[in-house]
A and B are shown apart, each in its own frame.
Chain A
Amino acid sequence: MSKIKAENVNVYYGSKQALFDVSIDIAEKEVTALIGPSGCGKSTFLRCLNRMNDVIEICRVEGSIKMDNLELNSRKLDVVRLRESVGMVFQKPNPFPKTIYENVAYGPTIHGIAQSKEEMDQIVETSLKKAALWNEVKDRLDEIGTGLSGGQQQRLCIARAISVSPEVILMDEPCSALDPIATAQIEELIDDLKKEVTIVIVTHSMSQAARVSQKTGFFHLGKLIEFGPTDKIFKNPDNQQTQDYITGRFG
C-alpha cells in the first residue's frame, strides 16, 4: 500500500536545479532506501517529505507530494502538524543540550501528547525501549544527552523521533558518523521499527541499503534513475548506470 506518492518533483536552490522530475511511490511499513553518489539529490528529496527545505531560504520545490492523499507541497499545509507525523533522524547525531529525559520528552511536550507526568514517563520509557537505549540510560535520565557516545546519541535521536508516534521516519545517512558496532545496532533497530512505521533512509552504503530495505531508489545527478525492489536493484538492475554504481564502477 502506498504511503507517500511523489510526482514530478523539481527542486531549485536559487537558480540551480537540484532535482529533476522525481516520481516515486513509497510503500507503508516498509523500509525504502535511497542511494546514489554524494550530491545526487537524495537528501534533498528526503527533506521534501517533511518540508525541512523550508528552513533553507533559497530553496524552491515544485511538483506534487501526497501522503495519504494530503498534499505536502502546499502553502496551506501546516508544517508543524506534518512534522509531528513525519519524524526525521539526521546524519550527525544532534541531541539537544538537555537531559536525556528532556530530549525524548521534547516532542510530546510541544505537541501536548502527554496529559500527565506519569504518561510522559511512560512515553519516554517506551520510546527509549523501542530505540534500544533504555537499558543503557535508565539510571541516568537526567544526564545531558550530549554526554552519550555517538551511537547512543543517534539512538537517542531516534527515540526522540518516535516519541510522538510518527507515521513516517526519515533517516538521512543515520550511520555515517558511527562505528560498525553502533551501525549494526541502528540497523537492527530499523528492522524492528518497520513493523509500525514507514521508513525512508538515505544511505551512502550499498550494503546497508541491501541489508535493511525492501525497496531501493537510485539517484544520479538529481534524477531518479531506477526504483524497485531491493533484490532486483542489486541483482538485476534494468539500467546500465545503476549496474555500474552497484558494481562500484563509479560513485
Chain B
Amino acid sequence: MNNFKQNLLKKRYNAERRFQWYGKIAIGLALSFLAVFMFQIFSKGYSAFQKTWIVTEVHYDKELLLIDAESPSKDDLENADYYDVAYKAMTSLDPRLTEEEDRQLIQMVSYKYETEVKDLLLKNPDYLGKIVPIKLTASDDVDQVHKGNYPRDIPEKNRRVNDYQLQIYDMLNERGDILSEFNISFFTSPDSREAELAGIASSFMGTVFSILVCLAFSFPVAVLAAIYLEEFAPKNKFTDFIEVNINNLAAVPSIVFGLLGLGVLLAVFNLPRSTPLVGGITLSLMTLPTIIIAARASLKAVPPSIREAALAMGASNMQTTMHHTVPLSMPGTLSGTIIGLAQALGETAPLILIGMVAFVNTIPGTPVDPAASLPVQIYIWSESAERGFVEKVSACIMVLLAFLILMNLAAQIVRHKFEKKWS
C-alpha cells in the first residue's frame, strides 16, 4: 500500500466522520429549536396560572350602601350603591392618605373591584352591616410586580407602578395580604381589555364550536368521497381530475380558504360574520382533502382478499364495501380525521379573514354567536402592548398545545388500539 493511498484513505474516513457530524448537528439544531421554544413558552407562561389578589377589609355600611329597608330583599342589595363602600375598602389600606394618592391606590386593583365587593355581599347577605375581609383582583401591573416580571429598579417615570404603589405593595406583602392563588378565572372568564381579567373561556368555546362544525361538515363528506373514489370510481379522466384536484387542494395555503369563506360564505350566502359556524365551515373545506387522503389510504390498506371473500359469498359491491371494507378502514380514517382537525384547530389566518378576530367579551353559547378561537386569541393578545398579556399569550399557547397533544395522542391510540395489522 503506497503512501498516496494511505493518505487518501485517511481523508476518506475523515470525510465520513465529518459528514456524520453534519447530520448529528442538524438533528441537534432541530431538537434544540424545539427545546428553546418550549422553554420560552413555559417560562413566560406558567405564571399566568397564578392570580394575584389584594386582601383588605370591607365594611358593608347600610348608610353608605343607601339601603333604607330594615331587612333588605335581594333586589335592594342588587340596586344598592357600592361605590363608596368599595372606595373605602381600598383607601382604608393607607390611613395617612392624601387626595393625590387615593387614585393610585384604586389603580392597584382591577377596575371591576366594585363588582367584586357587590358580589361578595350578594353571595353572603348576612355580611350587611359587618366588617369582613375581602379579596380583590390586583391590577395587572401589581400582578406583574408580584410575579417578579417587572423590574423595580428603573426610574419611576419609566415604570407603570410608581413609588407610592410599590410602598403600599411592600407593606401589604409583608402583612401577607397579597395572595397568589390558582387562576380559575383565566379559564372561566371571557376576553377583556384588562390583562388581569382576561380569560380564554370565550375563545375556548369558539374553538370547540368551530371544531364541532368542522367535524360535522368535513367528516361525512370526506368519508363518502373517499369510499367512492377508492371503491366505485371508474378509472377515467374525470376521476383522475378529482384525484389531482384533491391532492392540490391539500396544499393550497390556508389563507386562500379564508378568502373563500369571506367571498362565498359571508358575501353570497350571508351567513353571520365572526361566528364559529362560518369559521367551522371554512375550516372544514380545508380539512376535507386531508381526511379524504387519510381515508383513502386506510381503505387501500384493507387487503383485497377480504373484498373477494365477501363478493364470493354473493354480497353486492355496496354490501361488501359497507359491511367489510369501511368498518375495517375506520381506525385509520378516524385517526386521520383527528389529525386533520388538530391542524384546523391551530389555523388562524382564515379565521381572521372571516372576522373571528372581533373583541368578544361574552362567552358564546351557540355556534352562531360571535366568538374568537384560541389561536386567534393568541394573535389578539400578542398584538396588545401591556406586559400582563405576554404571560397570558404564553399560557394560552400552553392550553392550545395541550389540546393539540391530546388530539394527537387520541389519534395514536385509535390507530394502535383498533387498527388491524395486515401481514
Contact = CB atoms under 8 A, between A and B. Distances in A.
Question: Is B truly associated with A?
Answer: yes
Interface of A: 78, 80-81, 110-112
B3 to A, nearest CB: 12
Contacts of A112: 4-5, 8
A185 B400 CA distance: 68
A61 B8 CA distance: 29
A81 B9 contact: yes
Interface string B269-282: 00000000000000
Contacts of A110: 12
A78 B9 CA distance: 10
A116 B13 CA distance: 23
A81 B5 CA distance: 10
A81 B10 CA distance: 12
B185 to A, nearest CB: 56
B19 to A, nearest CB: 14
11 contacts: A78-B9, A80-B9, A80-B12, A80-B13, A81-B9, A110-B12, A111-B5, A111-B8, A112-B4, A112-B5, A112-B8
Interface string B166-185: 00000000000000000000
A interface majority secondary structure = helix
A24 to B, nearest CB: 28
A175 B13 CA distance: 35
A55 to B, nearest CB: 15
A110 to B, nearest CB: 7
Contacts of B13: 80
Contacts of B5: 111-112
A78 B13 CA distance: 10
Contacts of A81: 9
Contacts of A80: 9, 12-13
Interface string B1-22: 0001100110011000000000
Nearest to B16: A80
A107 to B, nearest CB: 13
The residue among A80, A111, A112 with the most chain B CB atoms within 10 A of its own CB is A112
B13 to A, nearest CB: 8
Nearest to A78: B9
Contacts of A78: 9
B16 to A, nearest CB: 9
Nearest to A113: B5
B382 to A, nearest CB: 47
B316 to A, nearest CB: 43
A80 B8 CA distance: 12
Contacts of A111: 5, 8
Nearest to B1: A81
B20 to A, nearest CB: 15
A80 B9 CA distance: 9
B373 to A, nearest CB: 47
Interface in B1-58: 4-5, 8-9, 12-13
Given A81-B9, A112-B5, 9 more contacts: A78-B9, A80-B9, A80-B12, A80-B13, A110-B12, A111-B5, A111-B8, A112-B4, A112-B8
B80 to A, nearest CB: 80
A120 to B, nearest CB: 15
Contacts of B12: 80, 110
The 4 nearest A-B residue pairs measured at CB: A112-B8, A112-B5, A112-B4, A81-B9
A80 to B, nearest CB: 7
Nearest to B7: A112
Contacts of B4: 112
A78 B5 CA distance: 13
A81 B13 CA distance: 12
A171 to B, nearest CB: 26
A82 to B, nearest CB: 12
B375 to A, nearest CB: 43
A234 B4 CA distance: 48
A78 B12 CA distance: 12
Interface string B78-92: 000000000000000
Contacts of B8: 111-112
Nearest to A110: B12
Nearest to A115: B4
A10 B8 CA distance: 34
A120 B87 CA distance: 96
A80 B15 CA distance: 14
A85 to B, nearest CB: 11
B8 to A, nearest CB: 4
A110 B12 CA distance: 8
A95 B8 CA distance: 25
A111 B9 CA distance: 8
A81 B9 CA distance: 9
A81 B8 CA distance: 11
A79 to B, nearest CB: 11
A111 B13 CA distance: 12
A111 to B, nearest CB: 7
